[in-house]
Amino acid sequence: MKHSNINLSVQQLLPHRHHIDIIYKIDSFYFSTKLFYDNIDLYHLNEKYTQDYMYKIYCHIALIEGLKYCSVFPKFFDLSQIADGLSESSLSFFTHTYRNAYTQNMYENNISTYEGPELIFNQPLGSNKTISLDSGNDDILMGNGGGKDSLLLAKILEKANMNFSLFQWARSEYGKFDYQYNLSSKLCKHITPKEIHPIIIYDDFTDGIFVKRYYPNLAPPFTLGTPECIFEALPIILDKNYHYLTFGNEKSSDTGNLFWEDLGREVNHQWIKSFEAETLFNSFIRNHLISNFNYFSLFKPIYDFRIFQKVSQYPEALPDMHSCNIYKPWCKKCPKCAYVWLGYLAFFDTEAVNKVFKTNPFDDPDLFHFYKQLVGANDHKSFECVGNIEESRFYMKKCIDKGLKGNALRMFEQEILNKQQIDWNVIERKYTTVDFNRHNIPDNIFQMCKQFL
């Protein structure tokens, strides 16, 4: 496919008392993203930080939400409507994020020379002036996606006697908002947050209908998730003076899915969760928006293997966790479901897992290809938030040792176990090791939590 002449633009940015309207345009088509803050008064934030500063925050939210429209490979992205709320550093940040986070979208469309849209504007850019949050609030704002990572993250903060509140989001592409919110809130039966801060994002582009109708040769729209959540949490952070925002992004996300020769580098579905991305996001916000803000992952020192291992200490929470990105709580047909299901069977009681899923994943023909990818018996690791190949192999080995049966496990025996000499002790030592050096956790928090990682 040759590069298109598609023009993308921000048409309008309108903050209201409890929500933000952003209108985008692709050629002659208009799209809307609406962000609803349930218990935040945005007009009050104008008084607290000035209207100009809050407008700058909203402009950055609009910029980051604009990333999803790069799924159609626009030639230009016209930022004239929000240019006065951005800086040169904002534009560089956008381009750097695109070039690393959208390699999968480029790979799936076989477009290796596109470097993102040219960012254009017809008015002067704004400044890099930052603000500092008031001191006195040491509570942690924690992202809650409703899965195993969120549960364990909250449990560790509780063990460390650290106060935390939850930031929960629901996006229109994942179904009814109340349904999503109630699913994520099930974890609150097992944890004790001080507050819950919900945000709802209504979007009429990411359901894929537009791309399917007008660009049927392209893969579906590609939404990142993590950077949008970070920037959309900023009004909550500013309102409550949270100095810390943490997610449960593990060390496994630092490993990509494949090396793409045409691009000359790695394709990593989870780059947005990687240590590199985390460092980029944190430093940009500290240097250009909030000087005493800290974004980090408490799980960056550990692999997903160790998360499964530790979360299995809470079997009572198993029915209340979910992880699917297709149909919540579980579609039971995607690589994410296949992977988490596998990890649960490896570490939890089999009967307890079967009560949740009710079928045997290893005999499901729709999952067979994903299991081959997960254990390295096919072209590349699945494009989803899944662990490394060695981790999935260890989970399958544990399932076999537990006496579980199925076609996927037989495939694993024939194509991996019977053909390779694997030192399982070496793998277990690697994936249970805590890396005390490569993380962005503030030292005061790390010292309190490290014994529980």
Assess whether pLDDT exceeds 80 at residue 3: no
pLDDT the model gives residue 222: 81
In a domain, 446, yes or no: no
pLDDT the model gives residue 207: 87
**Across residues 214-222, what is the average pLDDT?**
90
Average predicted confidence (pLDDT) for the chain: 95
Write out the two tokens for 29. Answer: 């088509």
pTM score: 0.95
pLDDT the model gives residue 5: 83
User: Is the pLDDT higher at 1 or at 371?
Assistant: 371
Q: Which among 208, 175, 212, 200 is positioned nearest to 330, based on CA atoms? A: 175
Assess whether pLDDT exceeds 60 at residue 81: yes
pLDDT the model gives residue 39: 85
Which residue range(s) make up the domain with 379? 320-432
In a domain, 285, yes or no: yes
Assess whether pLDDT exceeds 50 at residue 180: yes
pLDDT the model gives residue 126: 94
In a domain, 2, yes or no: no
In a domain, 254, yes or no: yes
Assess whether pLDDT exceeds 80 at residue 1: no
Residue 178 CB neighbour total at 10 angstroms: 10
Last residue of a domain, one of 297, 330, 363: 297
Strand partners, 120: 78
Same domain flag for 357 and 210: no
Q: CA-CA distance, 261 to 176, in Å (whole number)? A: 41
Write out the two tokens for 192. Answer: 């004790």
In a domain, 304, yes or no: no
Same domain flag for 170 and 236: yes
Residue 359 carries which DSSP code? S
Assess whether pLDDT exceeds 50 at residue 260: yes
Q: Which of 54-58, 177-181, 292-296, 396-400 has the lowest mean pLDDT?
A: 177-181
- How many domains, the chain? 2
Same domain flag for 272 and 324: no
**Across residues 257-283, what is the average pLDDT?**
95
Q: Which among 251, 253, 311, 270 is positioned nearest to 435, based on CA atoms? A: 251
Asked if residue 11 lies in contact with residue 81, where contact means CB atoms within 8 angstroms, the answer is yes
Q: pLDDT band at residue 2, thresholds of 50, 70 and 90?
A: very low
Residues near 451 by Cβ (< 8 Å), separated by ≥ 6? none
Longest dimension (CA), the chain: 68
